[in-house]
């Protein structure tokens, strides 16, 4: 049995196993399994890979950046982004990839309008870095937003971001705020009314409509959750794993 999985700290929210189970069934793949592996830290990563005989795995919060020193190499995109969400295992050699960036772009582009030339990306972690890289690759001006901008050079505060939202009509939540089970939370001030043509994209997919998206939709903004992005990055991850076998 070929073993794959997801590594993170808290994985109760993840729908990745159901996607892979459905994918394996559709493709008639009977010798592969995808499991969740919660880890309190990464020091035991190599031991886990050996014990479970992992042939590839995804990486999620909070390890997309922290995992890099544990890898043997990065592909060009992961190196440029500075974050990894997919790892291939070949003869015990670990290579980091980033399928978040192309998956985000594939999901977002059909929703873009000519007015979406500048974006606010909420967060400064690995997911935010992937989003920034993807947006800049198609010429969209990106501003990262942080609750602690003093600790993240180049980012701005949420108060400043609200003022910026009048011209930055694309707002992407790349934080876990609002994710199950904390569904009553939002990264964005709920009293901030969207301007016309605002597009809100939330990388969170569980719940399917976060408070951030619901507030936007009720005030006329276009909204999209991260479910299609999840499926696309999983598909791209499987392509990387399957190619190496």
List phi, psi (to 5°) of 96: -90, 140
What lies within 8 Å, CB to CB, of 202 at 6+ separation is 172, 173, 178, 210, 212, 213, 223, 224, 225, 226
Q: Do you find a cis peptide bond into 62, omega within 30 degrees of 0?
A: yes
Active site includes 129?
A: no
- Decide: 183 and 225 in contact? Cβ < 8 Å: no
Residue 156 DSSP SS3: strand
User: Could you tell me the CA-to-CA distances from 9 to 6, 42, 182, 231 in Å, in that order?
Assistant: 10, 10, 16, 21
- Measure the N-to-C terminal CA separation of the chain; round to a whole number of Å: 13
Given 64, 129, 132, 243, the catalytic residue: 64
Burial state string for 149-186 with b = 16 or more CB within 10 A and e = fewer than 16: beebeebbebeebeebbeebbbbbbbbbbbbeeeeeeb
For residue 118, give the nearest of 171, 173, 168 by alpha carbon: 168
Distance CA(101)–CA(70), nearest Å, equals: 21
Catalytic residues: 64
């Amino acid at each position: 049995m070929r073993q794959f999985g997801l590594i993170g700290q808290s994985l109760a929210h993840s729908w990745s196993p159901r996607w892979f189970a459905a994918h394996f069934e559709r493709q008639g793949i009977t010798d592969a399994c995808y499991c969740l592996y919660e880890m309190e830290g990464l020091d035991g990563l190599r031991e886990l890979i050996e014990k479970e005989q992992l042939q590839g795995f995804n990486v999620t919060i909070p390890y997309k950046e922290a995992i890099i020193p544990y890898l043997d190499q990065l592909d060009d995109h992961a190196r440029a982004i500075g974050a990894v969400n997919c790892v291939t295992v070949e003869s015990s050699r670990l290579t980091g990839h980033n399928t978040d960036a192309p998956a985000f772009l594939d999901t977002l582009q059909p929703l873009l309008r000519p007015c979406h030339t500048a974006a606010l990306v909420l967060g400064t972690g690995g997911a935010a870095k992937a989003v920034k890289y993807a947006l800049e690759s198609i010429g969209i001006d990106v501003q990262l937003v942080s609750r602690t901008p003093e600790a993240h050079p180049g980012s701005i505060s949420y108060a400043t971001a609200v003022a910026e939202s009048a011209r930055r009509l694309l707002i992407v939540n790349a934080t876990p705020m609002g994710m199950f089970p904390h569904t009553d939370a939002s990264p964005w001030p709920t009293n901030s009314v969207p301007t016309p043509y605002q597009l809100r994209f939330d990388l969170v997919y569980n719940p399917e409509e976060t408070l951030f998206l619901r507030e936007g939709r009720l005030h006329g903004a276009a909204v999209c959750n991260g479910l299609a992005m999840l499926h696309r990055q999983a598909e791209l991850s499987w392509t990387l794993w399957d190619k190496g076998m």
